[in-house]
Amino acid sequence: MKFKTFKGGIHPNDKKELTNKVPVTKHIPLDEIIIPLRQHIGAPCDPLVNVGDYVYMGQKIGESQSFVSAPVHSSVSGTVSAIKSHPHPGGGEAMCVFIKNDYEDKLDPSIKPFSLELNPKSIKDYVDSLDSADIVHKVKESGITGMGGAAFPLHVKLSPPSDCKIDTVLINGAECEPYLTSDHRAMLERPQLIFAGALLVAKAVNAEKIIIAIESNKPDAIELFEEMAKDYPEITIGVLKTKYPQGSEKQLIQAVTKRQVPSGGLPANVGLLVTNIDTCSAVTRAVVMNMPLIERNVTVSGDAVKSPKNLLVRVGVTFQQLFDACDGFIEEPKKIVMGGPMMGIAQSTTEVPVIKGTSGILAFTKPETYGKEEGTCIKCGKCVDVCPMRLMPNALSIFSRMEKVEKLNDYHVMDCMECGSCTYICPQRRFIVQHIKHGKSVVKNSQQKGNK
Ligand code: SF4
Ligand code: SF4
């Protein structure tokens, strides 16, 4: 079979065998949960509750009037114990609503029982009966953001500019980061919810076609989805070569559709909407039940974790609780990351809460570059060969350190998606991505100064 792919990329040891065969287990949230009012790209929410208020599970507790934002909801029932700043897994601190769990899981009265029969005919009849605007409204009210990590509010993607016609919805089931298997397990354990959600997303934007793209290292999911797709003529399954960063939006689009998103452009500019695979399950629950996004699969893994596993976790539970649910650490971790090891965000405390975009939390006994000095560039060109954006990482890292704004623009520094492939492959262990991140901030600052 010929697999779809893109030019460049790397093949790190994916370590998915630590968790990919084990069914997801439900995690029971403990005493207090912490819901950040900023969990998405866009404006943070303002609190809708006060200290001392009783809240239901699924009750909206924060929202913003800004279009690019997503409301947040309580993931347990209980009493608001504090509203204060707290460390955030995305970096820095954010205002959070603390809720004392009463362990009753009393549902918000707006949430209905799941009434849809999960078979192809019922799903199609149900989707046909709905209005596109209603789907977008329910997605917005349920606070659904992309669950692959970027956490972009989905209702914004479902409302593309009027001059962009979306013909195809591309569902991202690549999960190309090493260690992460939370999407893989979702594909195996709730496939019909995913298919129903994909149809709902397509209906919302009036797209005719749906492509579900899965990396070749998930043969059981591919087999299951190809069999199921026989009952859905609008859905095809695209099998991707296992390669990092195959799941990054532009690389995925290029591999599956051969369309090229212009520099600084959006998938909608080339007729596409891309969303993460388990986000589709959340869409189905939101539309059928009015259930907001308050829980998700999280992979807890890494060589420091005693019993790596996938957990079904409420938003707001701390990382420490999840590590405890995996029997703690083999030895004290030197590095903790939210997301995958390549693009994930390093954490300075385990007392940060799970947010809507937390696909995994990883703990390592030592960072990849631990104990190594950065060497000088030997001009081997390996970083250029692997860059999926066809950039020159070696030159960009040098211009970044020298803060050469003009050169950085000439070499398209802002097209770097910080995938880390260049750093991974560099035999001299040069901190290329860190340098480029600095270069990007230098360019942004100079643009802001120019605009003043
Ligand atoms: S891979 Fe490292 S050593 Fe080789 S050209 Fe790139 S920066 Fe230089
Ligand atoms: S330059 Fe940027 S896009 Fe290219 S490999 Fe390095 S991190 Fe990835």
Residues 130 and 238 in one domain: yes
Nearest CA to ligand 2 atom 6: 422
Q: What is the pLDDT of residue 372?
A: 64
For residue range 326-358, list pLDDT tens digits in order.
999 999 999 999 999 999 999 999 999 999 999
- Domain membership flag for residue 336: no
Please tell me the predicted confidence (pLDDT) of residue 35: 98
- Counting ligand 1 atoms within 8 A of each CB, the residue from 430, 433, 435 with the most, and so the one to mutate, is 430
| CATH code of the domain in which 249 resides | 3.40.50.11540
CA distance 421 to 178: 13
Check: CB of residue 9 under 8 Å from CB of residue 177: no
Q: Establish whether residue 433 lines the binding site of ligand 1, counting it when its CB lies within 6 angstroms of any ligand atom.
A: no
Residue type, 22: V
216 domain residue, yes or no: yes
Is 330 a member of any domain? no
d(C-alpha 389, C-alpha 405), whole Å: 19
| 369 located within any domain | no
Confirm whether 25 is domain-assigned.
Answer: no
Look at residue 160 and tell me if it is in a domain.
yes
What domain range includes position 175? Answer: 111-289
In a shared domain, residues 283 and 389? no
Of 254, 270, 289, which marks where a domain is finished? 289
User: Would you call the peptide bond into 367 cis, given omega within 30 degrees of 0 as the criterion?
Assistant: no
Ligand 1 proximity of 77 Cβ (cutoff 6 Å): no
- CA–centroid distance, 415 to ligand 2, in Å, is 9
Residue at which a domain ends, from 254, 289, 324: 289
Q: Tell whether 387 and 264 lie within a shared domain.
A: no
Evaluate whether residue 6 is within a structural domain: no
pLDDT of residue 41: 87
**Nearest ligand, CA of residue 251?**
2
Cα 13 to ligand 1 centroid, rounded to whole Å: 21
CA of 8 to the centre of ligand 1 (A): 15
Look at residue 91 and tell me if it is in a domain: no
Indicate if 274 and 386 belong to the same structural domain: no
The distance in angstroms from the start CA to the end CA of the chain is: 55
Q: Do residue 284 and residue 391 come from a single domain?
A: no
> Within this chain, do residues 259 and 151 fall inside the same structural domain, yes or no?
yes
The backbone torsions φ and ψ at residue 421, rounded to the nearest 5 degrees and listed phi first, read -60, -40
- Omega of the bond leading into 245 within 30 degrees of 0 (cis): yes
For the chain, residues with pLDDT lower than 70 are 1, 367-372, 451-452
Whether 254 and 403 map to the same domain: the answer is no
Does 275 share its domain with 129?
yes
Residues 274 and 138 in one domain: yes
Q: What does pTM read for this prediction? A: 0.94
Residue 368 has a pLDDT of 54
Tell whether 283 and 430 lie within a shared domain: no
Cα–Cα distances in Å, from 413 out to 148, 262, 328? 24, 15, 40
Looking at 289, 322, 339, which one is the last position of a domain?
Answer: 289
CB 382 less than 6 A from any atom of ligand 1: yes
Query: Are 274 and 389 contained in the same domain?
Result: no
- What's the CA-to-centroid distance between 297 and ligand 2, angstroms? 28
One domain for residues 388 and 274: no
Give the SS3 label for residue 382.
helix
Residue 341 near residue 177, CB atoms below 8 Å: yes
Q: Which residues of 155-188 are buried (b: 16+ CB within 10 A; e: fewer)?
A: bbbbbbeeeeebebbbbbbbbbbbbbbbbbbbbb
Cα–Cα distance between 93 and 73 in angstroms, integer?
Answer: 19
Query: Which tokens is 50 given?
Result: 């006060």
Specify the length of the chain in residues: 452
| C-alpha 422 to ligand 1 mean position (Å) | 8
What domain count does the chain have? 2
- With beta carbons less than 8 A apart as the criterion, state whether 281 and 294 touch: no
Report how far ligand 2's centroid is from the alpha carbon of 83 (Å): 39
> In this predicted model, what pLDDT tens digit does every residue of 226-282 receive, in sequence order?
999 999 999 999 999 999 999 999 999 999 999 999 888 899 999 999 999 999 999
Q: Nearest C-alpha to atom 7 of ligand 2 is from which residue?
A: 418
pLDDT given at position 357: 96
Q: Give pLDDT, residue 367.
A: 64
Question: How many angstroms separate the CA atoms of 94 and 434, rounded?
Answer: 24
